[in-house]
Amino acid sequence: MFQPRGKTLNIWISAATILVGVHLRFTDDQGVMGGIIDSTSFVKQFNNPSALQQGHITGLYDIGCLVGSLLTLVIGEKLGRRKSIYIGCVFVIIGTILQATARVIPHLMVGRVVTGMGVGVMTSIVPTWQSEVSGADNRGVYLTIQSANINTGFLLSNWITLGASYATSQFQWIFPICVQLIFASYLLVSVPFLVESPRWVANHKSIEEATRIIACLQDRDENDPEVLRVRDEISAALEEEGQSSWSDLFKNGGQQNFRRMLLGFGVLYMQQLTGINSIAYYLPIVLVEYLPVKENMAHIIAAVAATQYAVFSFVPVLFIEKIGRRTIMLWGAVAMMILSALIAVGFNVPGQGGAIMTVVMYCLFYDAFGMSYLNVPWMYAPEINSLQMRSKGGAVASASNWLFNGIVVTVTPSSLAAIGWKYYVVWAVFNASFIPMIYFLYPETKGLSLEQIDHIFEGKGHGRSCFTQGVQESVKGVAAIEASRADHRRSDIENARYDDSDSTNEKEAPTSVGVEHANSD
C-alpha cells in the first residue's frame, strides 16, 4: 500500500481533519437542516411540521452528537484513533441515507440522531489524533485550520441550500442532505493511507512500531536523533504514568487526570457560554423580530456576517503559536464581554441607528469569537490530557460542547421573549467570569510537546495548588516548568519522609508505654 511520508503525510492528515470540520457545521442545525426545514417540498413531504416538531428534528442532532461523544469515552481508547474515525464515518453514512429516504418525521428523526452520533465520535477523536501526530511547533496551526473549516462548512451549506431552493421537486431538500456522503466517503477512502497515532501505538502495541510511525511523520530515518528524542519522550511518559484504569480519570493524584479532564470540559463549556450560538442560530430571526430590519435584508446581513466570520476564523494561523492559548482566550473573553454589552445598548437605541450599531456589534462578536474561542477550546483538551487518558478526556470535552450547545439554542428564543436586550447582559457576565478562570487555572501549552505539557501536572499538589500548579510557570516556558517540577518532587519526597517519621513514632509510642507499665508492675 502506498504510504505518504513527511510533509505530504501531514497534509493528507490535515485534509482529513479539515473535512471533519467542514462536515460538522454542514450537518448541524445551522447548516443544511436550518436551510431546508422551511422549504416548500420539505414542508409538503412531512405534512407541514409544527414548530415543536421542527425543534425536535433539528435538536435531536445535538442529542446524537452527545451520545457519540459518550460512546467514544467508552470505546475510543481501545479501538484507536483511525478505527474510531471509521465508526464515525459509518454512522454518518447510515444516518444520511436514513434522512434522505425518510418520508415520515420519526424516520427523519432517527436519521438525525444516527448522523449526530457519527459526528460526535469524530469531534471527540479527530482533534486528539491531529494533536498526537503533529509537532510542537505546528500543532496549533493544524488544529486552528481544522476548527476554522467548521465555518467553511457553514458557508458551503448555505450556498448549496440556496441553490437547491430554486428546484421545485424533492431534490430541494434531498440533495443538500446527500452531499454529506461526499465527506464521509472521502474519509473512509483516505484514512487507510494515513498513520495511527504513534502515542496510541506505543501505549497499546509497541514502541518499535511507534518509532517507525514517528520516522514516517518526520520523513527521517528511524535512528535519526530527532526521531529517537520523540520516541524517548513518549516512552518516558508511559513509564511515569504506569498502568491506568477508568477510575484514574477521576483522580487527582500524581498525574492530575481529574484536573486535566475538568480543564478540557471547562474550556468547551466556556466556548458555548460565550453566547455565540445565541447569535449564529437566530440572527435573521432576531433582526426581523427585535430590530427594524426587513426579512430579505436580514438574510443578506446574516450571509455577509457569516462570510466575514469564516474569513476571520483563519486569522489565528498567523499568531496561534506566537501569542499562545491563554492570551488568546483572555483577550477573546474581554472583547466578547464588551461586545455583548454593546449589543444590549444597541437594542435600546431607537430607529435605524440602533439597528446599524447592533449589526456591527454582531459582526465584531463573530470576529472576536472566530479568532479566539472557535479554535483554542478544540485544541486545548487533547493537548492537556495525559497519553492514556487523552481520548477519554477529549470525549468528555466534546460531550461538554454538545451539552451546552443544546442548552443555549434551547433557551435562547424563550429568553429573548422574556427579557429582550437584557439577555445579552447575561452573556457579558459569562464572558467576564472566564477571565479569572483562565488566568488562574489554565496553563499555557504553546511550543510544548505533549510530553512536556505532562510535566506541568506532575506532583500531587496541596490545597489550592491542586488546580493552579504549573500555571504561571507554563507562561515562562519549559525551563520554569522543569524547575517547578523538581521543586514538587523534592516536596513530595520530604512529605513522604515526614509521613514515614510519624508512622515510626506511632509504632514506638505504645512500646514505651508498655515498658513503663511492666516496670511499675
Q: What pLDDT does 95 receive?
A: 93
3-state secondary structure of 33: helix
Do 387 and 234 meet the contact criterion of CB atoms below 8 Å apart? yes
Question: Span 430-454, mean pLDDT?
Answer: 93
Residue 441 is which amino acid? L
Instruction: Give the cell for residue 476.
Output: 515562562
Do 146 and 317 meet the contact criterion of CB atoms below 8 Å apart? no
Question: 245-259, 407-421, 462-476, 498-512: which has the minimum mean pLDDT?
Answer: 498-512
The answer, yes or no, to whether residue 154 has pLDDT greater than 50, is: yes
Q: What pLDDT does 499 receive?
A: 54
Task: Name the nearest CA neighbour of 397 among 126, 141, 144.
Answer: 126
In this predicted model, which residue has the larger pLDDT, 357 or 23? 357
Question: Residue 348 burial (CB < 10 Å; 0-12/13-18/19+)?
Answer: exposed
The domain at 251-442 falls in which architecture? Up-down Bundle (1.20)
Number of Cα atoms under 13 Å in the Cβ half of residue 317: 12
Q: What pLDDT does 28 receive?
A: 58
Number of Cα atoms under 13 Å in the Cβ half of residue 237: 27
* Per-chain mean pLDDT for the chain: 84
User: What is the tens place of the pLDDT at every residue in 467-484?
Assistant: 888 888 888 888 787 777
Residue-range domain boundaries for the chain? 1-196, 251-442, 450-514
Domains 1-196 and 251-442 share a fold: yes
Percent of the chain with pLDDT strictly greater than 90: 37
1-196, superfamily in CATH? MFS general substrate transporter like domains (1.20.1250.20)
Q: What pLDDT does 26 receive?
A: 60
In this predicted model, which residue has the larger pLDDT, 412 or 210? 210
The answer, yes or no, to whether residue 17 has pLDDT greater than 70, is: yes
For 30, list phi and psi in degrees, rounded to 5: -80, -15
Q: What pLDDT does 261 receive?
A: 92
**What DSSP letter does each residue of 358-411 carry, written as one string?**
HHHHHHHHHHHHHTTTTTHHHHHHHHHS-GGGHHHHHHHHHHHHHHHHHHHHHH
The answer, yes or no, to whether residue 106 has pLDDT greater than 70, is: yes
User: What is the tens place of the pLDDT at every residue in 296-312?
Assistant: 787 788 878 888 888 99
Question: Span 454-477, mean pLDDT?
Answer: 79
The answer, yes or no, to whether residue 274 has pLDDT greater than 90, is: yes
